[in-house]
Structures are given as C-alpha cells and as structure tokens.
Amino acid sequence: MRFLYNNIVVVLRKNTFITFIFYSLLLATVTSCSKDTPSPQEEDEMEDEMDDETPIEAEFIRTYGGSGVDEGVAIVTTSDGSYVIAGTTQSNDGDLLNIKTTADADIWIFKVTTSGEIQWSKTYGGTANDIATNISNTNDNGFIVSGYTRSTDGDVTDPGNAGFHDFWILKLDSTGNIQWNKTFGYSGSDQCYKAFPTSTGGYFISGFLDVSASEGEGNEGRSQTGQKGANLHGVGEFWGMLLDGNGNAIWKRYFGGTNNDRSYDALETADGGFLMTGASESDDFDITDSKGSYDFWAVRLSSSGDLMWTKSFGGDGIEIGYAVTQTNDGNYMMVGDTRSTDQDISTPLGNADAWIVKFSDEGNLIWEKTYGGTEFDSAKSIFPLSNGNYLISGSTRSGNGDLLTNNGQNDAWYGIIAPNGTLESVYSAGGSNLEFIEDAIALDNDSILMVGNTESSDLDIPSNQGSKDVLLIKI
C-alpha cells in the first residue's frame, strides 16, 4: 500500500491480509498529523497507487499426511490441469489409511485437483526406508521419479539394492502405476536427486556416489588421466548417468575430489549436453578453483558424458546450491544459500542468505544477488516465468530486510525476480513452528504452487495431522 505523508509517497509492504478498515484508520491518523493537506489531484494519485498495490493472498493452503513424518519435495502439473506431488511418508493413517500399513519411510505420489482435493494416492517401497527427491513429467503423460532406497524387497526389484543407499528410479504411468524401476549403486550411500527425460528419448539422472565404498566403480568409460586414483576420492562425488528409454544405463560418470561433493540438480543444455549442479567441499581432482568450506559447484558435460569444465562460486564459508535453470539468453542461474561475507558474495545480509548466481555456458560469473534478512534464509528452487522473470522459493527465519513478516521459527517464502536479479515481489506464510518449501512452479493462469512440509497447525497453516505434514500453497 502507498499513502501520502507530507507530500511524500510512503510505501507499506505487506505479506498477510490487512483489512480495509485498518488501512482507513492508519491513513486518517497519518494525514491528521500532517501540516499539509493533500490536494484533490494528490488524493487521486494516491488512490490510484493504492489500487495498484494488491495484497498477495493464498487461494488455499492445504496439508496432507498422517500421524507420522510426511514431506513434499516436488510438484508437476498434468495434461488435465491437475497437480501431482512427490514426497515421502512414514504414516499409515490419516490420508494414508488403507494405502500404507507399515511405519517405515516410503515414496508417496498423489494427484490433487485444482482446489487441492486428493484424486489418487500411491506409495512405493519395501520394508526399509525409501526416499523421494524429485518428479518430472514424461512425454507419455506419465512421470519419472527420483529417490534412493535401503530396501531389498517390495517394489525395489530391478536389480535390487546393492548396499546402504542406492539410486532408485521409478517410471510411472499417468495414474501412478509402475512401468519399470531401476536401482544403481554400490555398498555405500548413493543418492539420486534428479531424473528427467532427454531430447533423445532417454533419461538423465544425477545425484552423488560414495566412491570410497564403490572402490572406483561407477565411472564407466571416463579416462582417469590426471587423477591420483579412484580409491582416493571422497565419500561423495557428483554422479551422472544417461539412461535409455527403458532405464538401462548408457554411460555413468562421477566427478569430484577427496571430500563431499553432492549434486542436487541437473538439466539438459542447448547442445544436448548436461549441466550438473550442487555443492563441493573438495579442493582437488576435478575441483580447480575452490573458494572455501563448501561452494556452489557446476559441472558441464558433453552429450557423451565427457567433462567440459567445472566452476566453483562462493566465499570462505558454506554455500549449498540446490537448483538450476537455463535462462532465455542461454546462460544459467543457480540458487541456494550462503553463509559467507567475502569473495563472490558482495552483499551479505544475515546469518545465511538466499543466494543466486548467474553464469555463462563457459562457467563465467555474470552477476550474483543475495535475498533475505538478518536470520537464516534459503532458496531451494527456481522456475522461469512466461514474462521473463523467475520464481525462487525456499524458507526464511527473517522478519526484516526482504522478508517483512515472520510467523514463527521458519516460514515458507517465494520471491519474483527480474532477469537482472532485482527482487520484484515477496510472499511468505507459516505458523508458529517450522515450514520448509522444496519446490515451486507457476501455472499458465499466473497462479503459483509451492510444496514442502510444515510442523505448524496455527496462523496460516489450517491443520496438522502429525509431527510433519506435506504443505501445498496455491497463490
């Protein structure tokens, strides 16, 4: 809202609904204290500006789950206009009644209407813990789901679990039936965070591999020239694979150093190659420009999996890159959070800030921006909008700076940014406990969907069935 005070337009930003009566009382109080009475022309301009500042309101906020821990990680739209949510559930009651009988963690995929009503709901897994990390649409109106599994039974069948955690990929049809599933891994903790269809009819999957446990396996076809030996690599390497249309591996490659290097997102590039992004703790082997403790790390591959370049972004502290998108001008934007105050971070704001870097297809930094307040703020997703702007989303503990309200320990938030990174608008919502947003997308009608999890049952959060529920916000 904008109002005039001593001939100066004052802007009042808001994230939650404030009634018109409150605005009227506030305006009357301010103008009664002013020495100068606004002219009729100024009053007309003031009213026009007020009309332009519409509060951001949620169409609905819904929670899903049971008495256990239930978390949402990703959301996609369907050809009929509905939404499919991917997550993990430990519940066997509430929304999972008659769907799941055990208390271990299973992948949970469910479809909801445009008003948030569940249409169908299915779980996948075995008798151990099975975790979902992402979901993507496929060309046949089905879905490709990424995650990782500790199970050796149930739905985990091809070829089964080889160790502690394995990549687990599920190809589902439009109603959630399994068409095929594949596991990839060795004796250590191998976790997949992204799977998506490629332009050639296959799939690319990305995550991280415990190379120490695999004893160097998982790098088929890649030259070891210049490396000191695969057995010296660390407990986490970026691990990317190209699969055919039936889920069979065409090639596998790992990249990293002696410490933890973990890929959380990937995309296909314009030339048919791939970009893997995440965070790196290493300063050797494939990491040639380490900045500090953990850095944003980008790994550019050719279509055949050959390493083209790697690039680190960050400062002396910790930076974790969670998501990446390609921009309209052929470059890339990666988002996550930063705890640094130096080097690539030009404007630190708080304990941790949401951080975005834009870089070229050669890995050169174009610009970087921080968002947030004085507390801990993070961005977990980025989505390109049809008007050229970008939607970023995550969680915030701040109630100042870019986030003017905070309802509790942690709130859900999104920001709309211009192509140059300028923050255009912000929305936040939450209860008195913890809310985390893992993914957000925009619809053709300019609505926004945010999915994550909540531990609240008050303020903006209508209900909670257990310790943690899947959270869906439509704006």
- Residues 58-72: pLDDT tens digits? 999 999 999 999 999
Pair (341, 400) in one structural domain: yes
User: pTM value?
Assistant: 0.88
Pair (339, 434) in one structural domain: yes
Q: For residue range 3-20, what is the model confidence (pLDDT) as tens digits? A: 333 333 333 333 433 333
**Among residues 14, 33, 52, which one ends one of the domains?**
52
Considering the chain, what is the average pLDDT of its residues?
89
Number of domains forming the structure of the chain:
2
Pair (212, 340) in one structural domain: yes
Q: Which residue has the higher pLDDT, 403 or 21?
A: 403
In this structure, what CATH number is given to the domain that contains residue 174?
A: 2.120.10.10
Query: In 107-264, which residue ranges form alpha helices assigned H by DSSP?
Result: 211-214
Range of the domain at 358: 60-474
The token pair that represents 242 in the structure block: 């190209």
Pair (223, 356) in one structural domain: yes
Q: For residue range 168-220, what is the model confidence (pLDDT) as tens digits? A: 999 999 999 999 999 999 999 999 999 999 999 999 999 999 999 998 899 98
Q: In the prediction, which pLDDT does 54 show? A: 63
H or E segment and range at residue 311: strand 307-313
Which residues have C-beta within 8 Å of that of residue 184, sequence separation ≥ 6? 166, 167, 169, 190, 192, 205, 241, 249, 252
Pair (356, 441) in one structural domain: yes
Pair (434, 400) in one structural domain: yes
Pair (120, 8) in one structural domain: no
Is the distance from CB of 253 to CB of 222 less than 8 angstroms?
Answer: yes
Pair (77, 42) in one structural domain: no
Round to whole Å and give the CA distance between 258 and 279. 13
Q: Is the pLDDT of residue 34 over 50?
A: no
Which residues have C-beta within 8 Å of that of residue 4, sequence separation ≥ 6? 10, 31, 38, 42, 43, 46
